[in-house]
Amino acid sequence: MWQRLLLRFLVALSAIASIVGLLWMSFAPPPGMKATADGVPYLTPPVIHPVTGQPLPVETLVRHYKGGK
């Protein structure tokens, strides 16, 4: 009898912890979820290459000027 009650309590506790964690991450995300490792914010629109007119991702420009590949 008490085992079933304890199991229900643990299931309810884990469900509440999961829901609270998801809500916390959606309303107050950590800084790592707002920008990439290079510091470029997510959902940044591409920029236009001045010579060719082609759109370039901002990540490409950051890697170019930082010297990475």
* Residues 24 and 40 placed together within one structural domain of the fold: no
Question: Do 69 and 51 fall into the same domain?
Answer: yes
Are 15 and 5 part of one and the same domain? Answer: yes
The amino acid occupying position 54 is: Q
**Predicted pLDDT of residue 54:** 93
Residue 50 contacts residue 62 (beta carbons within 8 Å): no
> Which residue range is the domain that position 15 belongs to?
1-33
- Residue 51: how many CA atoms within 13 Å on its side-chain side? 0
pLDDT per residue, tens digit, the chain (69 aa), is 899 999 999 999 999 999 999 999 889 888 777 888 888 888 889 999 889 999 999 988 888 888 766
Q: Are 36 and 42 in contact (CB under 8 A)?
A: yes
Domain count, the chain: 2
User: How much is the pLDDT for 13?
Assistant: 98
Residue 22 sits in the same domain as residue 44 = no
**Judgement on whether residues 17 and 45 belong to the same structural domain of the protein:** no
Residue 56: in which H helix or E strand, if any?
strand 55-56
The pLDDT of residue 68 is 67
Same domain membership, residue 25 and residue 41? no
